[in-house]
Chains A and B, each alone.
Chain A
Amino acid sequence: QSALTQPPSASGSPGQSVTISCTGTSSDVGIYNYVSWYQQHPGKAPKLMIYEVSKRPSGVPDRFSGSKSGNTASLTVSGLQAEDEADYYCSSYAGSIHLVFGGGTKLTVL
């Protein structure tokens, strides 16, 4: 069982927005602003999309945004495009456990 809980799947039509949740506890997501999100296409390495809850690395489109409320972090993809179809993973610092990942969400662009 993954330490952080993500929905197994999410979907949206091109141009729409979709939000993926990542639920942790008061020992990880709830207490630290060290949530990051990774995109992974089939057979490829993960790619950093969001770090420190809401910061975007250079080169990541501003269609990707992150937020957090309580023990739940969220990744929102606006203006969905076909190339956004991928698996998305959240990660959080977890104190003594150090680092935990979510189980992943498969995003389908309809």
Chain B
Amino acid sequence: EVQLVESGGGLVKPGGSLRLSCAASGFIFNSYAMNWVRQAPGKGLEWVSSISSSGSYIYYADSMKGRFTISRDNVKNSLYLQMNSLRAEDTAVYYCARYMMATMFSDFWGQGALVTVSS
């Protein structure tokens, strides 16, 4: 069974940093690309970043470029999102998802980690 479990969410002050983790199991992690997608409270889904299976190809939404860094550890079967210079508008539930990069869809999603940016 595919499982994705996010961790590392919490309350952070504006300008602060946070690192999210996503532990993957139930599939061959190093064979799949991965996504981060976020959802602000009461709002819709917003794509954040994608990383290829090897980590060689990385993409970011414009509003996250330069502030967020996606990475993965294929030995630990884990995906990460380093978030710096956080703003109030980054407050959201952050989902990690398995991503079919060739055909651009996410077939399995974690339950999400809440990040709250507030003073």
Give the interface of A toward B (CB within 8 A). Answer: 2, 32, 34, 36, 38, 40, 44-48, 51-52, 57, 87, 89, 91-93, 97-104
Given A52-B103, A93-B104, are A101 and B109 neighbors across the interface (CB < 8 Å)?
A: no
Interface-central residue, A52, A98, A101, A102, by most chain B CB under 10 Å:
A98
Query: Using a Cβ–Cβ cut-off of 8 Å, how many residues does chain B contribute to the interface with A?
Result: 23
Report yes or no: B44 in contact with A103, Cβ–Cβ below 8 A: yes
Q: Give the residues in chain B near A51, CB-CB below 8 Å.
A: 100, 103, 105, 107
* Majority secondary structure of chain A interface residues (helix, strand, loop or mixed): strand
Check B110 for interface membership: any CB of A closer than 8 A.
Answer: yes
Report yes or no: B105 in contact with A48, Cβ–Cβ below 8 A: yes
Give the interface of B toward A (CB within 8 A). Answer: 35, 37, 44-47, 50, 59, 61-62, 95, 97, 100, 103-112
Query: Across the two chains, which residue of chain B brings its CB closest to A98?
Result: B59
Q: How far is the CA of A104 from the CA of B42 in the complex (A)?
A: 11
B26 CB to closest chain A CB, in angstroms?
A: 15
Report yes or no: B45 in contact with A38, Cβ–Cβ below 8 A: yes
Q: How far is the CA of A5 from the CA of B95 in the complex (A)?
A: 22
Q: How far is the CA of A92 from the CA of B106 in the complex (A)?
A: 11
